[in-house]
């Protein structure tokens, strides 16, 4: 089966160069320009390996790894222009499997990709534990902790929280959220029931429900769990 590689770098010429070479080596390649876009692409494409620049605007490589490694254990190769040992060590400590220092040989990069894939040889695994800020959700145990204190949620509230926290920063429409709750069955005219569940959920998890920090309203769209809610 063809392996999918996600290349994350803010320089288009570098992404295209890596994409062209790796596709010539038999890989499928998808791209992202920064860590924020990479979170969206990774959640949809489920890559087998990520090639990740560390220094990027918006969400950098370190923050991307910190967020995405909670969701899926995907092997990662860092790209960095820095030569300091501390930068490489930090990247490895937060979950990278290997690193390549710019400028690099495309042949060497492809060899490292194959080596890491052979070494890990496993598909991404979604974690049962999701954490953001002081909130912990255990999908397997079906419970929620806030500051280590259990919070009682209804099944619908729990499912909504899982969907939102599993995709930090992504805006969901009411129809999408309702479809998740009803497992694919959406009934016209009842999307506003999502608003009721969201209001109740905010009452239980937000420090100030009238000024929500975590579950934000995206006007004209729906709701999202704030990306910076994990900080």
Answer yes or no: are the C-beta atoms of 66 and 29 closer than 8 Å: no
Q: What percent of the chain has pLDDT over 90?
A: 30
Would the pTM of this model clear 0.85, i.e. be above it?
no
Look at residue 230 and tell me whether its pLDDT is greater than 50: no
pLDDT of 83: 55
Taking the C-alpha atoms of 190, 195, 198 and 200 in order, what is their torsion angle to the nearest 10 degrees? -100
φ/ψ (deg, to 5) at 122: -155, 150
Ranges of each domain in the chain: 4-120, 129-230
Domain 129-230 -> CATH class: mainly alpha
Mean pLDDT of the chain: 83
pLDDT of 55: 77
Confidence of residue 84 (pLDDT cuts 50, 70, 90): low
Taking the C-alpha atoms of 221, 225, 228 and 229 in order, what is their torsion angle to the nearest 10 degrees? 150
Instruction: Give DSSP secondary structure letters for 11-69.
Output: -HHHHHHHHHHHHHTT-EEEEESSHHHHHHHHHHH--SEEEEESS-SSS-HHHHHHHHT
What superfamily in CATH does domain 4-120 come from?
Answer: Response regulator (3.40.50.2300)
User: Fold match between 4-120 and 129-230?
Assistant: no
């Amino acid at each position: 089966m063809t392996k999918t590689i996600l290349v994350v770098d803010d320089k288009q010429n570098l992404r295209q160069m890596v994409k062209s070479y790796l596709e010539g080596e038999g890989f499928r390649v998808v791209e992202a320009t920064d860590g924020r876009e990479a979170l969206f692409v990774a959640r949809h494409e489920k890559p087998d390996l990520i090639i990740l620049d560390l220094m990027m605007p918006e969400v950098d490589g370190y923050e991307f790894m910190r967020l995405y490694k909670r969701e899926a254990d995907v092997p990662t190769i860092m790209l960095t222009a820095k030569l300091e040992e501390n930068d490489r060590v930090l990247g490895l400590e937060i979950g990278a499997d290997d690193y390549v220092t710019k400028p690099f040989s495309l042949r060497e990069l492809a060899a490292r990709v194959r080596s890491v894939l052979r070494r890990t040889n496993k598909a991404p695994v979604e974690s049962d534990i999701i954490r953001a800020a002081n909130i912990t959700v255990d999908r397997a145990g079906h419970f929620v902790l806030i500051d280590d204190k259990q919070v009682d949620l209804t099944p619908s509230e729990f499912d909504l929280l899982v969907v939102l926290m599993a995709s930090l920063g992504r805006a969901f429409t009411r129809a999408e959220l309702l479809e998740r709750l009803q497992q694919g069955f959406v009934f016209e005219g009842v999307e506003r029931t999502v608003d009721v569940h969201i209001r109740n959920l905010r009452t239980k998890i937000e420090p100030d429900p009238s000024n929500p920090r975590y579950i934000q309203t995206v006007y004209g769209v729906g709701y999202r769990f704030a990306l910076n809610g994990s900080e």
